[in-house]
Amino acid sequence: MSSPAKLVPGTLQVVAPFWLDRPDEEALEIAGEAARNGFDTMWLGEMGTFDAFALATAVGLSTPGLALKLGPLAVGVRSPVALALGLTSVTALTGARAELALGASSPDIVAGWHDRPWESIAPRARETVEAVRSILAGERSAYAGRHVRSHGFRLRQPQRDARISLAAFGPSMTRVAVACADEIVLNLVTPERVEQVKDLVDAAPRSTDRPPPEIAVWVAVALDPGAAALAQMAAQTAVYLRPPGYGEMFTELGFGSLVERARAGARRAELAGEVTIELLRQVCAVGSVDQVLARLASYRAAGATRIGIVPSTAEDRAGRRVLSALGSGASEVRAA
């Protein structure tokens, strides 16, 4: 029998999705729906649409009072100074509380799109977090790492309370996140993976000056999805079949043939047609309100401190139905 599990205020947050079949500007509508339904925080990442800091400024100005989490942004694309300037620009221009999230991204984006080095991502991530943290604290930059260097810069408006999250998937990035981040971000994972990361956090040696990182997980959500919503989620999931870490996870879940085809160069549209609802149920929350709430509760029970809802919008413009169903009124959910 299921037992009740409380979601304390702030447990559920909203993530601006990157659905390939929706207008880019829908992110602003989703922000409005998030605020109207009592959510206090929205994640704004970056893919092939808007610059994350520009989008965050637009959201902050159009939706006052909504806290913003920027990223995860690829550690290999922007320098520590650029990251700190971007975050400070958002807070100064909008008055919003903002935090920074970083991550590895993928070789296609870092090396292919931006012509930046992809190798040594884990140590580069650690050095970036260390350098950005000192800059946000108001110190003059004096960082000389193996992969990251910055000297002589000082923010005019320090962000001393800004937390830094780090997206982690493989073992190397997870170890870095446990060691130096305020929060670990997991996307498109099972509750079992959350539990594994929680065990790593609990087993790690404790720093005397930093508490253990919390865990945030992004979960794509669709209420009573029809064919269009399932196709939308399948198309996005297909993007993750190829990258390192994700492919290995899907293989462990029994979908290795799809991963092999993705890494052999199969087209995303072709792969999306073979992403089954069984696969989606492993890493998403789909079904009735009760089924979705129970699924989200399973992530909470596994150790997630915060759950970022990625609303499906193919049949639910700006996620109105799902955000209404999961908003401030959903303070108690059934644990799976």
pLDDT in tens, the chain (336 residues): 333 444 455 589 999 998 888 999 999 999 999 999 999 999 999 988 899 999 999 999 999 999 999 999 999 999 999 999 999 999 999 999 999 999 998 888 888 999 998 899 999 999 999 999 999 999 999 999 999 999 999 999 999 999 999 999 888 999 999 999 999 999 999 999 999 999 999 988 866 677 899 999 999 999 999 999 999 999 999 989 988 788 899 999 999 999 999 999 999 999 999 999 999 999 999 999 999 999 999 999 999 999 999 999 999 999 999 999 999 745 444 333
Q: Which ranges constitute the DSSP H helices of 226-319?
A: 227-239, 246-250, 256-263, 268-272, 277-283, 289-302
Residue 79 CB-half CA count within 13 A: 13
SS3 153: coil
Q: Tokens 């159009």, residue?
A: 62
Q: Which ranges constitute the DSSP H helices of 111-216?
A: 121-136, 171-180, 191-203
CA distance 75 to 72: 9
Amino acid 326: pLDDT: 94
Amino acid 183: pLDDT: 97
281 CB-near residues (< 8 Å, 6+ apart): none
pTM for the whole thing? Answer: 0.92
Amino acid 336: pLDDT: 36
2: exposed, middle or buried (Cβ count in 10 Å: 0-12, 13-18, 19+):
exposed
User: Could you tell me if 29 and 55 are in contact, meaning their C-beta atoms sit under 8 angstroms apart?
Assistant: no
User: Could you tell me if 186 and 206 are in contact, meaning their C-beta atoms sit under 8 angstroms apart?
Assistant: no
Amino acid 47: pLDDT: 84
Q: What domains appear along the chain, each with residue ranges and CATH number?
A: 4-222+302-328 (3.20.20.30)
**Could you report the per-residue pLDDT of 143-152, keeping only the tens digit for each?**
999 999 999 9
**Longest CA pairwise span in the chain (Å):** 60
Q: Rg of the Cα trace of the chain?
A: 19
Amino acid 10: pLDDT: 59
